[in-house]
Structure 1
Amino acid sequence: MMNRRHFLRSTGITLGLPLFESLAKAAPAASPRRFAFIYTPNGYLQSKLLPQKAAQGLNPLTLTSTLEPLSKIKDDLTFITGLDRQFVPGTGVHAQAGSCWLTSSAPQETLDGGFPTNLTLDQLIARQIGADTALPSLELSTNDFTDNKETKYFECISWYGPGYAANTEKNPRAVFQRLFGQGQGGPQRSILDAVLAQAHSLEKRLGGEDKQKLGEYLESVRSTEQRIQRAEAAAKRIGKPPLPEPKGIPEKRSEYLKLMAELFIHAFQNDLTRVATLLVAPERWDNPTLYDGLFDKPQNHHVLTHIKGDEAKDKLALIDRYHMEFYAHVVQRLKATSLLDSTTLVMGSGISDGDQHNYADLQVLIAGGGWKRGHFHYEGKRPLADLWLTMAQQAGVKQERFADSTGILTEI
C-alpha cells in the first residue's frame, strides 16, 4: 500500500482503472476533456510544408510532402495557418519562441525581465479540469542533451507564472515511477499530518494578519491532502501497471518519443491527469541529434535552418516529416485507446520560418477534441492567442481575453 510520504516525494504516482470511453458514452456524465501540447523547435521548412495556394477561411487539407505522413489520420485533422505572434526586442528570438508559445501575457506585458512569460494555456486549463486528478498536469521533454548551456527559456513551454517554469521530466523511468510507482511502507504518520499538527499549534500564537496567511497556507495543504486521498483510493483498485517500467532513455530517438507519448496516453487513460505538454527538443541548443532511420550521423537542426543550399533544405524536410510521423503515431494511439474524441492534441512551433525567425504565419496541427476538420487559413493579422482563447473556453475557462487575443475562432 502506498503511503503519503512516498506520494509527496514523487508528486503523484498512483493509478486508477482506465476510463472506458464506451461506458462513459452510455453514462449521463460526459467523458472528461483532455489536452496535450507537443512543441517542435526552430519552425518548419515552409516550402515543403504549405500548399501552393490557400484562401482565407476553410480549405481542403492538402497533404504536401511534409504532411504526407498524416495521410492515415487526415480525416481527424485540423490544420491552421496564418496566425501571428509578436516578438518583443531585448531577449533572444529563440528563447522567446518556446517559452512564450502558450503564454497568457500580451507581448508588451514583460513581467519576467524582458520576457512576457506568464501562466501558460496548459496550466490555465489544468486549473479548470485538473482538480479531480492526482496530477493537475504533466510536463515532459525528450531533450536528453546533458550540456545545459542554454537557460530554461529555451526548453520550458509550461509556466506557472512570470519567471516560474514548470520543470520537465526527461527520463521515462522517472515518469513511470511518478505515475505508477508504489510505496514500500514507511512511517504511519504522514508528512501532511505533521504539517497540520504544527500549524494548529502555531495558530494560537499568531496575530490576525498572520492567521489569515496561515489559513491560506492550510487551504493549499488541504487541497494536497485531497489529492493524496484520491490517489490512495485509486491505488486500491490498481493491479499490475499497464506497461513495463522503462530502464531509462531509449537509445533510438523514435523510441524515446513514442515512449514518452505512451506514458502521457496511459496517464490520460487512467485519469491520472488531463493535461500534458511534451517538448520534442529545445530551441536553438545546437545539440546534434541522431534521427534514426534518416541519417547515419547526428544532425544539428538549428544550424540546418540557417544553411543555404538544397542539401540542408532536404535534411530539414526529412526532420519535419520525422516529427509528422511521430504526431500521426500519437493520434493513432489515442484512437486505439478510444481517447481521441475527448482529447485535443496540438502540435506546433513558436516560429514559422527558422531561418528568418518569423513570428508570423504560424502553423498549428490539431487532432481530436471535436474541432472542425480541414485547413483553416488566416490572412492579415490574427493573433495565435485567439486560438488559445478558443481552446481555453472549450475547456470551460470563463475568460474573455488571453494574451493579445481579439476574439475566439468561431469557424473552427
Structure 2
Amino acid sequence: MWSVATRRWAARAGSRHTQASALVSHFSTSGESKDEKLEAQVKKWQQQKPEDKTKFLSVQVDRSALKQPGGALASNLPVDLPQGKSKENSLVHVLRSMIEVKGPLTVAEFMSRSLSHPDHGYYMKKDVFGSQGDFTTAPEISQMFGELIAVWCVATWQQMGMPSHIKIVEMGPGRGSLMSDFLRAAKSFPPFYDAIEIHMVDISPAMQKIQQETLKCEPVEDKTAPENTMRLPDNGPTVRWHADFANVPHGPSLMIAQELFDALPVHQFEYTDRGWRERLVDIDFEDGGDHFRFVLSPGPTPATRVYIGREKLFDPSTALSHVAETHISGVEDLKKMQETVVQRLDVADVTGTPVHTPQAQVGDKIEISPVSIALVQDMAKRISQSGGGALIVDYGYDHPSELSLRGIKNHEFSAKARS
C-alpha cells in the first residue's frame, strides 16, 4: 500500500493532537474567509525555496504485503545465499527478474535478450570485434576477404545482365571492414560501382555509428532521402541503415551474410524417455560462479510441438497467400506464427501427449533456429521476385553436431551462463 503525507508543520508524534486542536480552534475563531486562508497558504508555499519544498513531501511504503526474499520461506528464517557468484551486472539482473516472473526462459529468448536488449545487450553498446573485443572475424584479418566477395558480386551482376541499379545488402556488418574492402575493389569496375546502392542491416545503433566511421560516410544533401541514409566520399553510392531486413526495399539485390547465422537464437531440445523436452534457462541457486543453469521442461513446450511435433497451430496456406499479396517477409510470418503459438500453448503442457520421434534415442540433442529459417526464406522470396543472389559464409564441423552454443570472452571459450 502506498500513502503520501504532506507535512505543513514539523510535529512530534506526541503533540499532533494538541496542534490539530489548536489549528481547528484558530480556523473557527478567525474572521478570515476560506478563500483568504487558502490564498495565504498558497502564498506561503510559493515563497518557499525549492530545496525547502521537498522537505514538506514524503512517501511512505507499506512493505508488509510485498514478496519477501526467500520466496515461500518464512521471513524470519535465515536464508543462505549462494556463494562464489560473479558480480551481477545489469543484464543478469534483467534476465533474473524475467525468470522470477515468467519462469525459465527458452534458450532462444535467453540468447535474444542477452545479445540485443536495448539497454544492456551484448551488441548494443560497444565494439566487440578485433583484438580489443572478444573475437575476430575474417574481414578483420585480411582485406582479401572483402575484395573476393566484391569479385563474386561483379560476376553475378554481369550474369544478371548488368542492371543499372542493384542493391548490395550486408546483414550483420560488424565494424564495416568487409564493406570497406568490398567498395575499394568495386571501384575497379566503374559500371558496377555506379550501379550499386548499399544497405546495411544491423540492430545495434552503436555498431551502425562505427560502420559509418569506417566507411567515412557523409550526410546526404537531398532532403527527400529516406531516414538513416548517408553517402560515400566523392559523391559515391548511397548507404542506408536498417534494423530489420524486412525494411530493405525490394529490387534486384546481392545479399551478403558473413558469420550471421551462428549468432541467431536457437531452441535446444533433448530426447528423454518421455519424448522430446526443451532445454530452458533457469536461475542457478547453487554455490558457484554461474548465475543461470540449463534445465529440461517438465513437458512439451510450444516450440517442441511446433518445431519437432509439427503441430499446426495456424494455417500456413492462409499465411503464405497473405504473403503473396502483401510481400510480408518470412520474419513477419514467424512473428505471426509465434503469436498464435503463445496464445494456444502459453506454458509447458505437463499432462499433454509427449512428442516422440521413432528414430530418436534417449540422450539425443538437437538445435532449431526458426529465425534463421525465416530469414533464409525471406531472402529466397526476394531473389525469386526481384532477381539477385545471396552469399552466406559461416563455419562449422563437416559432421552433424548436437548443441553448438558457445560463449566467448577475450578470445577464449567461457561459461555460457555466467556473465
TM-score class, shorter: under 0.3
Indicate the structure with greater strand content: 2
Give the alignment's TM-score, normalised by structure 2. Answer: 0.20
